[in-house]
Structure 1
């Protein structure tokens, strides 16, 4: 559904300086996948999304989306994709059903077909009770469902969602995700989305792509990335005088990628905490090191970003940049 090679976008800042917002991105997305595209502000993810949806012409490289070239046949791409941006797409003063009918007409449906399709997507997104209301009277979660409905009127093969749940309360976010997952399950729609909520990408997406400074730095399942790039965390509390000894034992027994001593606390990063911790505790006991506390924690996608870049996504959000 998406095949991009060397995708690049440069911007001129104040008519002189050139900023390379996206730098040679290679990307493949198969039909039916749900892909989360992550990165801090300025990383280039929104610029990538705009190029893939024909809203911004690439400076260099190629991209074929839904079987059409984004540069040579942008109209063909637009006819086959749905795009839901960060801002609401419906006007505030027209009725919800009328907005959907107008969207269908814009995509070439007859008036009768547009009405039928409007009713279908109202049912799909559970918006029937709101059909005669104006978008301005809807809640934030209902308006986002309407935005998704607008993107689905023409039955696209591929749906792009740019921050679909940003600004919503937890219940509305969960509701939106429920609809996204049902859409994919029932209709096999390929979904490519950006999100700032790492826990959403972790639990919902079958594939995670991370971009930073205009380049893709990680691509895989959430579990695979966490296991390969971050590792589990093990925290053991001992007497202050035994901490250095506990760290030395950890180096021998646990094969950690990282050991940090903080007073009487020893923190390790290991491949599999569940198999490492029992043996580590046994050796500590045999060596006469008294353990006061021990716990393990699975890594997060933020840990993956930290392992790759030396900073967290939260820290990076404050940096900003041209290629947001």
Structure 2
């Protein structure tokens, strides 16, 4: 038992260590892309009226005249110290403050979208598998196909037109306050649903396929031959094994939801990190873009790590494999 626990711990540490080169690669790629973008950060900070001498002095102060790798190493060292720099526009706020202002809104939207996606995906996936090739299965599969093919921005616009402008049931823009209030829920329904629909449809199909495979296994037929109630067969014996790919895709989808939040937040004028990044890209605000991408990449790789660790709970074969290694 101790050897198995030590092996699992070693496997978890290996997964954590593998995140370091991934994050380094992401930061290097983003830094390089922004480095070759047109525009001068020093000129953007001082404005078009500043003299060339003033601009050159600021470039020297910021280290923009140094070689690329030296700039990258210096930025990486500041990141380790949690210093992401300052915005080159507006009031030149620290990037950490900008992220702190907008990240909670995006996190709320992502959690709501994931709630919609996993809840509806689990329900429709299980029902479709249990009632395979019946009317309810055909309806559920048709709906999921439609949502998979439907562009998120188009669905968002249609929902705004129908539920906000025509019916007046839900607000079209902004973020409700305080969190958990009725007004907050009204503001979150449309963007959360739009952001989660594609993931819902995909998760539903994944769970349906996995459930059908498990329900056809020998041990399920044995359980039914013993006279166990169908509900117990489905939820106790079949669902646990069928959930493994479902949990995998759900965890991987978190990164897709964060990326999709950029479009959703823009359509609904939602004050999240995605909308802020769009503004920073259009304004050539490199420090803000680098900080936001670093945050999103970190969340994505940490989510994948959490999914890997959850594997060890859901699938004993992984623990056995880790112990054998």
Structure 1 length as normaliser, TM-score?
A: 0.22
Which structure is higher in helix share?
2
Select the structure with the greater relative contact order (CA < 8 A; seq sep ≥ 6): 2
TM-score (structure 2 length as normaliser): 0.22
